[in-house]
């Protein structure tokens, strides 16, 4: 057996503590799998005195994570500090410069600086691994980077944020509002005090940007992701989805399209029968459409200390075994430039929920504006409003009522133009709700 | 860029032809991912004159695959001949002896000789890769071998045979008999002329034995798998399953139990809400229960030329990148001996469908025999038989009627003993049907 593989863990939060514990607990199995004893020899954290339930005796303590990254007693630096800039970035950069192997769970860092870091790591001849950065405990980075090299991928999509899926699941099952479910999610620790990053889709966008690069061999382009969160989803949308045979999920979708790769994050109607529609609560799922395998779906835990540590330790084991692959599946210099496709050119089905004045001719007016732009309607659903009948012999109250349209494939641009015309016609009592449909 | 990685493909059936085509089609991407140009330089097959739609010009032809395996023009031998013995085994052995990397899709070979071959490969310092040997295009070998080293696995189970799942799906959806569906599957090319190997569960058992070794770090023990196929499943069982909230799938299950690892293949009742119950047709799925990730499910194509080639090419790319891992996740010498657990000691829920004489006291007699062995019943379902009422004022005909029991967890041994007692009491008109229940 060769020398120990010495791990320095920077960041001792839930995940960091789980990693330290897991490496000790699985020492024998890890040594058998990698041919080396793996040992944590250094840690770094802001608070030295917090009780983490870990035996840190014999492990060097660094107040400065970049000093840990440069330590001669460390072969592999595990960055679990978080954040796209600041100490996390400085630690990873210092580790690469010092010729250490690096493992990180930091999706923000990867999404914003992955290309530059990959290039630096390759120039220095060290590995930069990041299985935990997307979809938590699901080994999807490995599947995309190593499992499908014979395939041309046409689409990757998934539920990449457990907080959002938990909220949507409860809204659907219990008919609650977004606000009520968010509050519960916060109480249960599934959502942060400031939930913006999760519920407005930015976390999903970071993860998606990483998956896109691996799936399509393109440079990471987090700024190119069109992002829309779930705070605008109404209980009525979930009721309508149910009635029409769909569920609503916050999906990240990367898809080959004319002229480039679409990257988008938004609430999405998925057919109830699809594998992804079955995924409930904080669970994550990723589906990969590729020419040889057809459809591949991976379902598992998207967060949590143990599940994330599982991904981190898998990376550590690969590096202990001496495996050195190009960070993003191919050398950074060989990545194709990201080619954005404007959302206006996105083509797909749409769920459009209008709030119209309950007057004669409104549905006809709406349908006409759609038809003018060659948008075909798969279904129209007008909801009866209970109080209406008593006020007018024709059952029309003039009051705002929902009118739901499901379109066949149309471009986002034509949908938006039709809705503007409908608004200009004075038919709408409220701004329209638009939710994209993703089919299998 | 280093030297070409030269591939010799032994066996040019559907999969072999797909591999040759895929390597050519994905040449650029494979070179970018692995740092080497991958090229097929030699092939071997029985029939030189068959048109496979491939351009084989410039590729050496070998009538004898073992000669291909020894050729100095080949760095990596891809064995796609099939069969546990004969030319497939001779080819892999010759390749290892000649110091070549080996890729195989041959589950029978691995199941029966995987331990010896792994030892030979490790002694010679060459890689033996076999992603395509289980669950076709799903990268489950990689997930188990490399994706979860921080986890202790407690159970692996899956739908590993597309033919059986296709037959059960059609039986369920259309109320057809096993025989009718098998005939259709044969007509569609999903089942062989002699379907025994698939429908009696042996194919699943081979794949399971491989997954068991990877999941638990034990020696492969194909002979230790308890095997029962789907030919005895009746349309009535599927109706009853539906009524009770289950679906019937042929599962391979490997599970840590007292004193060892249970390995079993049998028709199984799975809750309709489980991920695995959603898997229809020829699709495969594997669920891994492990301490850190909890539950991980992978769903994808289990067979087909392109999907299988996808797995083979993923292995080739790993080997081209110079990756050398112990074949079974840890050195063959470090595998724990297989520790079988007798099926009689298996504990779980059971579906028991009895065909009883429709007489007073029969249900009570059955329930008593169960109670004597401390078997608790979750539900009892007695099916009304249409013609019965007219013959007896109490609605009892004396004719054979189905009586279905769902038990809480009990050992297989006590269930079998209770059924023997019930049979000895003369209560049964036919042999009982017993289907195990697998819960999430």
Per-residue H/E/C for chain B: CCCCEEEEEECCCHHHHHHHHHHHHCHHHHHHHHCCCEEEEEEECCCCCCCCCCCCCCCEEECCHHHHHHCCCCCEEEECCCCCCHHHHHHHHHHHHCCCEEEECCHHHHHHHHHHHHHHHHHHCCCEECHHHCCCCCCHHHHHHHCCCCCCEEEEEEECCHHHHHHHHHHHHHCCCHHHHHHHHHHCCCCCCCCHHHHCCHHHHHHHHHHHHHHHCECCCHHHCEECCCCCCCHHHHHHHHHHCEEEEEEEEEEEECCEEEEEEEEEEEECCCHHHHCCCCEEEEEEEECCCEEEEEEEECCCHHHHHHHHHHHHHHHHCCCCCCCCCCCHHHCECCCECCHHHCEEEEEEEEEEECCCCHHHHHHHHHHHCCCCEEEEEECCCCCCHHHCCCCCCCCEEEEEEEECCEEHHHHHHHHHHHHHCCCECCCCEEEEECCC
Model confidence band, residue A360 (pLDDT cutoffs 50, 70, 90) = confident
pLDDT in tens, A80-112: 999 999 999 999 999 999 999 999 999 999 999
| Residue B149 touches chain A, beta carbons under 8 Å | yes
pLDDT tens track for B212-252: 999 999 999 999 999 999 999 999 999 999 999 999 999 99
pLDDT at A227: 98
Question: pLDDT at position B373, please?
Answer: 96
CB contact under 8 A, A310 and B329: no
Quote the pLDDT of residue B385.
Answer: 60
Active site residues of B: 207
The arithmetic mean of pLDDT across residues B348-371, rounded, is 94
**Which residue among B18, B150, B309 sits closest to A310, beta carbon to beta carbon?**
B150
Cβ contact, residue pair B142, A137, below 8 Å:
no
Q: How far A292 CA sits from the closest chain B CA (Å)?
A: 5
CA A436/CA B205 separation, integer angstroms: 43
Which of A30, A139, A150 has the CB atom closest to B26's CB atom? A150
Q: Is A174 helix (H, G, I), strand (E, B) or coil?
A: helix
Q: What is the mean pLDDT of residues A279-304?
A: 96
Q: Does the beta-carbon distance from B217 to A138 stay under 8 Å?
A: no
Averaged over A175-199, what is the pLDDT? Answer: 93
User: In chain A, which among 106-125 make CB contacts under 8 A with chain B?
Assistant: none
Chains A, B: CB pairs < 8 Å: 181
Contacts of B290 in chain A (CB under 8 A): 310
Show which of residues 288-317 on chain B sit within 8 Å of chain A, judged by CB atoms: 290-301, 306-307, 309-310, 312-314, 317
The predicted pLDDT at position B184 comes to 93
B280 touches chain A (CB under 8 A): no
For A47-83, write each residue's pLDDT tens digit.
888 888 888 999 999 999 999 999 999 999 999 999 9
Instruction: Check pLDDT > 60 for residue A390.
Output: no
Q: Which of A251-255, A390-394, B144-148, B326-330 has the lowest mean pLDDT?
A: A390-394
Q: What is the mean pLDDT of residues A2-23?
A: 96
A432 has a chain B CB within 8 A of its CB: no
Residue of A nearest to B279 (CA): A275
CB-based contact, B329 to chain A, within 8 Å:
yes
**Could B300 and A318 be called an inter-chain contact, meaning their C-beta atoms sit closer than 8 Å?**
no
Q: What is the pLDDT confidence band of residue A230, given thresholds at 50, 70 and 90? A: very high
- The pLDDT of A146-162, averaged and rounded, is 98
Distance (Å) from the C-alpha of residue A435 to the closest C-alpha of chain B?
Answer: 26
Mean predicted confidence (pLDDT) in B385-411: 75
Token pair of A61 as six digits: 């303590």
Query: pLDDT-based confidence at B398, cuts 50/70/90?
Result: confident
Please tell me which residue in A89, A100, A107, A207 is annotated as part of the active site.
A207
Residues of B in contact with A306 (CB under 8 A): 291-294
Q: Is the pLDDT of residue A238 over 70?
A: yes
- Whether residue B323 has pLDDT greater than 60: yes
Out of B34, B139, B148, closest to residue A310 by CB: B148
- Positive or negative, the CA dihedral A77, A81, A84, A87 is negative
Domains of chain B, first to last: 5-133 (3.40.50.720), 146-301 (3.30.360.10), 344-437 (3.30.70.260)
Distance (Å) from the alpha carbon of A316 to chain B's nearest alpha carbon: 9
Structure confidence at residue B388 as a pLDDT band (50, 70, 90): very low
Q: How far is B359 from chain A (nearest CA, A)?
A: 44
Q: Is the ipTM of this complex over 0.90?
A: yes
**C-alpha torsion B279→B281→B284→B285, nearest 10:** 10
Per-residue confidence (pLDDT) for residue B53, from 0 to 100: 86
Q: What is the pLDDT of residue A229?
A: 98
Indicate the average pLDDT of chain A.
94
pLDDT (0 to 100) of residue A93: 98
Query: Nearest CA to CA, how far is B391 from chain A (Å)?
Result: 45
Q: Is A37 on the interface with B (CB under 8 A)?
A: no
The mean-pLDDT minimum among A12-21, A263-272, A332-341, B393-402 falls in B393-402
* Percent of chain B surpassing pLDDT 90: 88
pLDDT at residue A394, as a whole number: 60
Nearest CA in chain A to B274: A278
Q: Is A247 helix (H, G, I), strand (E, B) or coil?
A: strand
Residue A41 reports pLDDT greater than 50: yes
pLDDT digits (tens, 9 = 90+) for B155-188: 999 999 999 999 999 999 999 999 999 999 999 9
A292 vs B149, B296, B309: nearest CB:
B309
What tens digit of pLDDT does each residue of B94-127 get? 999 999 999 999 999 999 999 999 999 999 999 9
Asked if the model's pLDDT at residue B22 lies above 90, the reply is yes
Question: Most A CBs within 10 Å: which of B150, B287, B316, B335, as the mutation test of the A interface?
Answer: B150
pLDDT at residue B391 in the model: 54
Question: Does residue A107 carry a catalytic annotation?
Answer: no
């Amino acid at each position: 057996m060769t020398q120990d593989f010495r791990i320095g863990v920077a960041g001792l939060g839930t995940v960091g503590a789980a990693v330290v514990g897991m490496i000790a607990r699985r020492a024998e199995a890890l040594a058998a799998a990698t041919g080396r004893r793996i040992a944590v020899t250094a840690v770094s954290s802001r608070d030295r005195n917090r009780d983490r339930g870990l035996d840190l005796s014999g492990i060097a303590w660094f107040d400065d994570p970049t000093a840990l990254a440069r330590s001669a007693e460390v072969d592999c630096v595990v960055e679990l500090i978080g954040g796209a800039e600041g100490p996390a970035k400085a630690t990873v950069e210092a580790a690469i410069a010092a010729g250490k192997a690096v493992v990180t769970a930091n999706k923000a860092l990867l999404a914003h600086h992955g290309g530059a870091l990959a290039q630096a790591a390759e120039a220095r001849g060290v590995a930069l691994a990041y299985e935990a950065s997307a979809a938590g405990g699901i080994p999807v980075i490995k599947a995309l980077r190593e499992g499908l090299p014979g395939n041309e991928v046409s689409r990757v999509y998934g539920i990449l944020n457990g907080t959002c899926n938990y909220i949507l699941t409860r809204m659907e099952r219990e008919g609650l509002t977004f606000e009520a479910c968010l509050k519960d999610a916060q109480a249960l620790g599934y959502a942060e005090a400031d939930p913006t990053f999760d519920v407005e889709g930015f976390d999903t966008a970071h993860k998606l940007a990483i998956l896109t690069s691996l799936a399509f061999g393109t440079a990471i382009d987090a700024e190119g992701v069109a992002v829309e969160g779930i705070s605008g989803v109404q209980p009525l949308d979930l009721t309508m989805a149910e009635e029409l045979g769909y569920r609503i999920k916050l999906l990240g979708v990367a898809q080959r399209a004319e002229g480039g790769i679409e990257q988008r994050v938004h609430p999405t109607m998925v057919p109830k029968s699809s594998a992804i529609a079955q995924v409930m609560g904080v669970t994550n799922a990723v589906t990969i459409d590729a020419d040889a395998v057809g459809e591949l779906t991976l379902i598992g835990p998207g967060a949590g200390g143990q599940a994330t540590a599982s991904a981190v330790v898998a990376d550590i084991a690969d590096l202990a075994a001496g495996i050195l692959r190009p960070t993003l599946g191919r050398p950074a210099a060989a990545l194709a430039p990201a080619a954005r496709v404007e959302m206006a050119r996105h083509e797909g089905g749409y769920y459009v929920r209008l709030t119209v004045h309950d007057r004669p001719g409104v549905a006809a007016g709406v349908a006409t504006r759609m038809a003018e732009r060659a948008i075909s309607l798969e279904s129209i659903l007008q909801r009866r409003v209970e109080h209406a009948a008593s006020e007018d012999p024709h059952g029309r109250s003039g009051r705002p009522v929902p009118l739901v349209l499901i379109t066949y494939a149309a471009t986002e641009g034509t949908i938006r133009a039709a809705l503007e015309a409908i608004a200009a016609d004075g038919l709408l009592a409220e701004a329209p709700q638009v939710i994209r449909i993703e089919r299998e």
